[in-house]
Amino acid sequence: MRKKVKENSNYIRDEKTKAILNTNFLEYQNYLNLKRSKQNGTRKIENLEQEMGEIKNSIDELKNMLLTILNNIDT
């Protein structure tokens, strides 16, 4: 059995589990969209951090190659 929450008519309380449930479908959809958007943003940041690490490694490799070439020219 479910009862409406007094403070907000968009919420109901499940008497068995005592959980409060949102009955406003549009509000729930907005919440899900916001959650997905944040997850996508987090994934983008993680991907950029990984790419940045790969670029740093490539630059280090290039520096080492240049140093090797310069050392070989001097000898």
CA distance 64 to 71: 10
14-19 average pLDDT score: 90
User: What is the pLDDT, as a whole number, of residue 49?
Assistant: 98
37-66 average pLDDT score: 98
Task: For the beta carbon of residue 21, count every other beta carbon within 10 angstroms.
Answer: 13
Tell whether pTM > 0.95. Answer: no
Give the residue with greater pLDDT, 55 vs 75.
55
The residues near 15 (Cβ < 8 Å, ≥ 6 apart) are 1, 2, 3
pLDDT, one tens digit per residue, over 52-67 is: 999 999 999 999 999 9
